[in-house]
Amino acid sequence: MRQFEVAAGGSLAGTLRVPGDKSVSHRAIMFSAIAEGSSRITGFLESADCLATLKAFESMGVDYRSEGDALIVDGRGLHGLCAPSGALDLGNSGTSMRLLSGLMAGQSFDSVLTGDASLSRRPMRRVIDPLTRMGARISAQDGERAPLTIHGGQTLQAIDYTPPVASAQIKSCVLLAGLYAQGTTTVHEPGVSRDHTERMLDAFGVRLEREGATLSLAGGQPLHAFDVAVPADLSSAAFFLVGACIGHGSRLRLTDVGINPTRRGVIDILQAMGARITLSNERLQAGEPVADIDVQASDLHGIDIGADMVELAIDEFPALFVAAACARGTTRLTGAAELRVKESDRIAVMAEGLRTLGVEVSVADDGMTVVGRPDADAFHGGRIASHEDHRIAMAFAMAGLRSSAPIVIDDCDYVDTSFPGFVALARGVGLSIAARQAS
Ligand code: S3P
């Protein structure tokens, strides 16, 4: 396993484009695979998670090739996938497993979806329940964990469904199954969640109605090939936004970043904390809003973050907790129990790491309070367990910018699930980070 060592202090400066958006990349592969015709995907994120999705479709007979900087996927139509010869190994990727569950439920053949130890611990009842109500037959470990065996050849019926939590993964799973169902599937969102599925289905020619928080889609609609330009991932940019805010004297430009309103919570939260962040060159790229983002070192102050902001920044709280530790005053997050069922329990794991670095935190079932230390070095050095969670590793790497001594982070291989090349890119804008193989 790789270990990161980050030297104390420093600042970030320059211009960078972080790799492509993970959520958009997954969907681009899935939708092109079941579309009619060949789709051209540029900016595809070649991370372990998205490559797991690509390999899953390859094993179901989908052909793809590189052409310059584009990935061309030859779609097989809604009913053209073939039975895979073995289990579909989705590694660490919750998005692959939950979205594919919906898609596989509508196939004529059986499939088995497996993942690594972390993915095998994550809750799958949230997709098994609605799919079972649609007529899918799914068996799981203890009824709720991967591996999932999805028995094909079932006739799915549309449902009217309200997920128990606001989740783009549940919503997308049900909508994808709805493509294969008889009748019109309706999902009532209990709260806002990222809408990449809706935007991209629309781009692929599917008629999907939205009325307030209610989405509906008629089954049997074909998808038509589309050229997807994947924006840079705001969730990856978030580490640099936080790094530049906390690193004294920093000044950074992040280009071509997705700023979808259902994802941009990290920008709004940091701005509410006093961050000097400005957006320019705002434009629409293949149905997704994109901008360049300038960020400078900022005097942050603590704020209260309530449930209404949680899903809008769901993946960015590890980075935001690091920002909170450098802010004047206290930051309180509530309504965020979902953080406990991500790649790690991100409340427990961030609290453990922040305490290791000398930060005062208190933990609740659904959130955390962080007492900021704005003047002195916010952190003393130490050795952090990332708990094999990519975002924990990258968040603590940024903490080095405000630490009085080096920070060592264990088990960093998982960074490649979302952000291959993180170390080189971070070094390029001034972070003193080295990766080495730990014995
Ligand atoms: C994702 C949705 C989010 C997010 C995940 C990616 C997606 O999960 O945490 O990293 O691509 O749909 P939930 O929708 O379950 O909150």
Q: What is the pLDDT of residues 155-200, one digit of tens each?
A: 999 999 999 999 999 999 999 999 999 999 999 999 999 999 999 9
Residue 437 has pLDDT above 80, yes or no: yes
Of all protein residues, the one whose alpha carbon is nearest to atom 15 of ligand 1 is: 167
Q: Could you say which of 3.65.10.10, 1.10.3720.10, 3.40.190.10, 3.90.650.10 is the CATH number of the domain covering 2-20+231-437?
A: 3.65.10.10
Three state DSSP letters for the chain: CEEEEECCCCCCEEEECCCECHHHHHHHHHHHHCEECEEEEECCCCCHHHHHHHHHHHCCCCEEEEECCEEEEECCCCCCCCCCCCCEECCCCHHHHHHHHHHHHCCCCCEEEECCHHHHHCCCHHHHHHHHHCCCEEEEECCCEEEEEEECCCCCECCEECCCCCCHHHHHHHHHHHHCCECEEEEECCCCCCCHHHHHHHHCCCCEEEECCEEEEECCCCEECCCEECCECHHHHHHHHHHHHHCCCCEEEEEEEECCCCCCHHHHHHHHCCCEEEEEEEEEECCEEEEEEEEECCCCECCEECHHHHHHHCCCHHHHHHHHHCCECEEEECCCHHHHHCCCCHHHHHHHHHHHCCCEEEEECCEEEEECCCCCCCECCEEEECCCCHHHHHHHHHHHHHECCCEEEECCHHHHHCCCCHHHHHHHCCCCEEEEECC
pTM score > 0.85 for this model? yes
Q: Tell how far the Cα of 154 is from the centroid of ligand 1, in angstroms.
A: 27
At position 410, the amino acid (one-letter code) is D
- Cβ of 197 below 6 Å from ligand 1: no
The answer on pLDDT for 439 being more than 80 is no
CA distances from 406 to 59, 320, 428, 438 (A): 44, 20, 19, 16
2-20+231-437 and 22-229: identical CATH topology: yes
**What is the tens place of the pLDDT at every residue in 245-260?**
999 999 999 999 999 9
pLDDT-based confidence at 438, cuts 50/70/90? confident
23 lines ligand 1 (CB under 6 A): yes
β-sheet bridge partners, residue 64? 73
Residues 6+ away with beta carbon under 8 Å from 378: 246, 325, 326, 359, 372, 399, 402, 403
Residue 129 has pLDDT above 80, yes or no: yes
Query: Once rounded to an integer, what is the mean pLDDT over residues 49-55?
Result: 98
Q: How far is the CA of 193 from the centre of ligand 1 (A)?
A: 8
Q: Which CATH superfamily is domain 22-229 in?
A: Enolpyruvate transferase domain (3.65.10.10)
The tokens for 388 are 């094999």
233 belongs to the catalytic site? no
| Pocket flag, ligand 1, residue 315 (CB < 6 Å) | yes
pLDDT of 145: 98
Instruction: Tell me, using a 6 A CB cutoff, whether residue 169 lines ligand 1.
Output: yes
Distance CA 164, CA 345 (A): 19
CA gap 129, 294 in Å, rounded: 43
- Distance CA(74)–CA(54), nearest Å, equals 12
For residue 93, the CA-to-ligand 1 centroid distance in Å is 10
The Å distance, Cα 83 to ligand 1 centre, comes to 27
238 φ/ψ angles, rounded to the nearest 5 degrees: -55, -35
pLDDT surpasses 90 at 70 = yes
Phi and psi based region of residue 355 (left: phi greater than 0; alpha: psi -120 to 50; beta: remaining): alpha
Rounded to an integer, what distance in angstroms lies between the CA atom of residue 8 and that of residue 11?
Answer: 10
Closest atom, ligand 1, to C-alpha of 193: 14
Q: What percent of the chain shows pLDDT beyond 90?
A: 99
Sorted by where each begins, the domain ranges of the chain are 2-20+231-437, 22-229
Grade residue 375 by pLDDT with cuts at 50, 70 and 90: confident
Is there an atom of ligand 1 within 6 Å of 314 CB?
yes
pLDDT tens track for 265-276: 999 999 999 999
Mean pLDDT score of the chain? 98
Q: Which of 116, 315, 389, 416 is catalytic?
A: 315
For ligand 1, say whether the CB of 417 is within 6 Å of any of its atoms.
Answer: no
Average pLDDT in the 99-125 region? 98
Residue with structure tokens 């960015």? 316
Question: For residue 164, which amino acid is it?
Answer: P
| pLDDT tier for residue 428 given thresholds of 50, 70 and 90 | very high
Q: Which pLDDT tens digit goes with each residue over 298-323? A: 999 999 999 999 999 999 999 999 99
419 closest CA partner among 398, 383, 393, 399: 393
Q: What is the mean pLDDT of residues 225-240?
A: 98
* Percent of the residues in the chain that have a pLDDT greater than 70, as a whole number: 100
- Quote the CA–CA distance of 120 and 104 in Å, as a whole number: 18
Distance between Cα 233 and ligand 1 center (Å): 13
- Count of CB atoms within 10 A of residue 330's CB? 17
